[in-house]
Structure 1
């Protein structure tokens, strides 16, 4: 599903359940020490998928540890994002020479718990969601808003290294293109020579799931075969 909404050059691996052959690297064990079996299996599966995406990029598989805000720590030269929810796990990776950051999120396609929408929505988004619901009532737009904002944050944090609140990103959805834009209310880091103030993403609803993805381009275009080879060689080391 995620593969349908990310651009060329992004390697995606996903699964609609936990994988029995998923194994953790020894360094990753600390991340689930004492966790229940369900948490351990999804933690292992999503990292297994991330390593499949690494293989697709032609780079070595490595342990994927977590940072101070539980963000995945990728090898130098790589950007990516992971997500898991009931019935779905996914990872999306790319080279940092092509994409500055990636954020993906998946959620069950169901209404948000009562009262949560008003905690995450910017005031301008409430009438926008009402209009969307009137036009496309089969989509749970409140859940999509939550998922898209999660994807925005996952793309934001590795670049800015600071919190972005739910109401600090004002989203607008385009049902015709399955796209969305996010206007940021914080001054962002400089990406490709321009301060980051806006993100664009895509979304998809299928099989009881909603997924959202944000990819921030470096503005260099799709890397060619020679450039991919140089990136892989750099990541593989001497």
Structure 2
């Protein structure tokens, strides 16, 4: 699914199960030594996907993918990437820092958000949009798609700016026909002076999932200090 919504310069790997061959480096194991079994499985499979994606990018020697602040993956210095996992799905996407300024991916079950969550994550105009989309295309749970898109925005933003981005800081607009979405950051957002105010992403559904992705090109983010 991911390769259909990511540019060719971004390598990805996805799995719908927890591979038996997935293992962790000792440094990674230390990050989840006290975690419950479900968290261990998703973390281990996510790191497996990350190594497979890195191999497709040319990093043939497996290496640990550790965790930075707020749980963000720590990639090799010349790599930008993102990991996602949800029930029945794990994936990673990586690109060369010479071509990609940042990558954000997110997968969610194609199910309604729990009661009350949409009002927390969506701006008023987004709530109207979701209602209209649900009326036109009810096979897609657009409230969950909105949540996923905002997660992809955050994963794109955080490695570059190293500061939080709240749900209300990004306005999402979906194109139901083209399978794309646009993102506009609010003028009030701290740290956004050198970050593109408008970026674009893509979305896809299938296998009971909604999946969103953003790949910010170096050309688009050339003025952003990556901090890496």
TM superposition score normalised by structure 1: 0.88
Output the CA distance in 2 between the equivalents of 1:47 and 1:4: 21
Output the CA distance in 1 between the equivalents of 2:37 and 2:134: 38
**Larger CA deviation: 163-172 vs 59-68:** 59-68
- Structure 1: where are the runs of 5+ without partners? 221-238
Secondary structure, in 3 states, of the residue corresponding to 2:71? Answer: coil
Q: Which residue of structure 2 aligns with residue 118 of structure 1?
A: 119
Which string of whole-angstrom CA distances, capped at 9 and with x for unpartnered residues, describes residues 126-180 of structure 1? Answer: 1111221121111110000000100000000001111000011000000111100
Output the CA distance in 2 between the equivalents of 1:90 and 1:68: 20
Give the drift of 1:61: 2.3
1:9 matched to 2:9? The reply is: yes
**Larger CA deviation: 117-126 vs 195-204:** 195-204
Q: Which residue of structure 2 aligns with residue 41 of structure 1?
A: 41
Which string of whole-angstrom CA distances, capped at 9 and with x for unpartnered residues, describes residues 11-31 of structure 1? Answer: 101100101100101111111
CA contact (8 A) 1:160 1:189 kept: no
Q: Which residue of structure 2 aligns with residue 77 of structure 1?
A: 78
CA contact (8 A) 1:159 1:189 kept: no
Output the CA distance in 1 between the equivalents of 2:208 and 2:53: 24
Output the CA distance in 2 between the equivalents of 1:189 and 1:214: 19
Which string of whole-angstrom CA distances, capped at 9 and with x for unpartnered residues, describes residues 46-71 of structure 1? Answer: 10111111111112321111111000
1:211 matched to 2:215? The reply is: no
State the Cα RMSD in Å.
1.2
**Larger CA deviation: 40-49 vs 82-91:** 40-49
Aligned residues: 216
CA contact (8 A) 1:103 1:151 kept: yes
Output the CA distance in 1 between the equivalents of 2:34 and 2:128: 44
- The 3 A distance-change label for structure 1 pair 166 and 81 is same
1:180 matched to 2:184? The reply is: no
Find runs of 4+ consecutive structure 1 residues off by over 2 angstroms: none
Q: Which residue of structure 1 aligns with residue 132 of structure 2?
A: 131
Q: Which residue of structure 2 aligns with residue 202 of structure 1?
A: 202
Output the CA distance in 2 between the equivalents of 1:98 and 1:61: 22
- Structure 2: where are the runs of 5+ without partners? 221-228
Output the CA distance in 2 between the equivalents of 1:54 and 1:128: 37
